[in-house]
Amino acid sequence: MKLTMQTASAEYDIILERGCINRISSFINLNRKVFILTDDNIPDRWVDTVQAQCPNSTVYRVASGEESKSMQTYEKVLTACLEFHMSRKDLLIALGGGVIGDLAGFVAASYMRGIDFMSIPTTTLSQIDSSIGGKTAINLGKVKNIVGAFYHPKLVLIDFDTLSTLPERQKINGLAEAIKAGLIRNPALFELFEREDYEDHLEEIIYQSLCMKRDVVQQDEKESNLRKLLNFGHTIGHGIEAYYNLEKYLHGECVAMGMFYFITSKELKQRLKKICTRMGLPITDDYDIQKVYEITTMDKKAADGIVSTVWVDEPGKAYIKDLPQTELLTLLKQGPF
């Protein structure tokens, strides 16, 4: 399967195919310096498969996890690019999950004012969501994704085979973004989660989620309006993620918890609760509401005391509503259900 992303600033293919990482050169020129950015948890078999196809390459591994989306790691990667004598014509490959994709994208956007990069996402989260759309970023302290750029890859290769080594918790974590995709724009996708075992439909789930995101990004690349819908579950979700120091919960797990606050129908909350419980996604915890509120409003989405929030009335019916930030506290006090 192939999707093409076409925005005002970029056009690139998204290839979805088992085994596609074995033939990268049939999609992009590898006869140049190739800097492969990955993390220390990505199995050697995927790294070796990629490197074996790049005659003039280097592999740079950062520590796995959110801490690598930091200024310090960003600087180290830039320094390594410089030491490898990367020029404007060379290629950066992001091989890993959303952390690697976000970091590599920002390095590519800023090194020499922009070099080519391609993404090989290896988690469900990155295959479903983060590898497309052009958002690249690192964190500043506890504040997520506050430093970054819109910068698209030249190519995205989604090889479902790479998911075979992904731990189960990580696999389920990413599926929260697919449930989100279903809730905001694709009722059939949401219903698939209710009806079926996700394991039997993983490729379809990834494809449908990407189609949804591709369509939204094509209409509103820079998030002036429609694209804000993709933030469903993220406003309070980011607050919860930061409250636990980005340690206790994974990103998708926090999005799952964050969605409940912005669903207006009790019945739909119950349906979502059932899906999350069956899949092993968390639905709430005993976080300190005041602290989550403070972190959430420090986030970039709270401008001038107004927070842009995304609400869902029923699957496929999502809308954006600007709220005075104090109303977030009321929502948090009311609780998720």
Q: Can you say how many angstroms the Cα of residue 60 is from the centroid of all Cα atoms in its chain?
A: 21
Q: What are phi and psi of 335, to 5 degrees?
A: 90, 165
Give me the residues paired with residue 320 across strands: 310
Write out the binding residues for ligand NAD, residues 242-271 only, by CB under 6 A: 250-251
The pairing of beta strand 11-16 with beta strand 2-6: antiparallel
Among candidate residues 128, 116, 119, 61, the one with its CA nearest the CA of residue 95: 119
The residue range among 9-17, 37-45, 48-56, 283-291 that interacts with ligand NAD, by the rule CB under 6 A, is 37-45
Site string for ligand NAD, 47-86 (x = CB under 6 A): -----------------xxx--x-----------------
Among candidate residues 20, 251, 31, the one with its CA nearest the CA of residue 126: 251
> Is the Cβ–Cβ distance between 207 and 16 less than 8 Å?
yes
User: Whole-angstrom Cα distance, residue 196 to residue 118?
Assistant: 33
Least separation in angstroms between CB 145 and ligand NAD? 6
Q: Is 282 in the site for ligand NAD (CB under 6 A)?
A: no
Query: Closer to ligand NAD at the Cβ: 242 or 332?
Result: 242
The residue range among 16-24, 158-166, 285-293, 323-331 that interacts with ligand NAD, by the rule CB under 6 A, is 158-166
The residue range among 11-19, 35-43, 288-296, 321-329 that interacts with ligand NAD, by the rule CB under 6 A, is 35-43
CB-closest chain residue to ligand NAD: 98
Residues belonging to the active site: 113, 135, 177, 213, 223, 227, 231, 234, 238, 251
Among candidate residues 212, 191, 234, 193, the one with its CA nearest the CA of residue 320: 234
Rg over CA atoms, the chain: 19
Q: What are phi and psi of 27, to 5 degrees?
A: -115, -25
Query: Closer to ligand NAD at the Cβ: 173 or 296?
Result: 173
Write out the binding residues for ligand NAD, residues 83-102 only, by CB under 6 A: 96-100, 102
User: Whole-angstrom Cα distance, residue 78 to residue 117?
Assistant: 14
SS3 at position 269: helix
Among candidate residues 83, 62, 61, the one with its CA nearest the CA of residue 71: 62
Among 49, 51, 57, 126, binds ligand NAD (CB under 6 A): 126
Query: Closer to ligand NAD at the Cβ: 246 or 272?
Result: 246
Burial label, 239 (beta-carbon count in 10 A; 0-12, 13-18, 19+): buried
Least separation in angstroms between CB 111 and ligand NAD? 18
Query: Closer to ligand NAD at the Cβ: 143 or 329?
Result: 143
Query: Closer to ligand NAD at the Cβ: 125 or 271?
Result: 125
Binding-site ranges for ligand NAD (CB under 6 A):
39, 41-43, 64-66, 69, 96-100, 102, 122-123, 125-126, 129-130, 133, 135, 144-145, 162, 165-166, 170, 173-174, 250-251
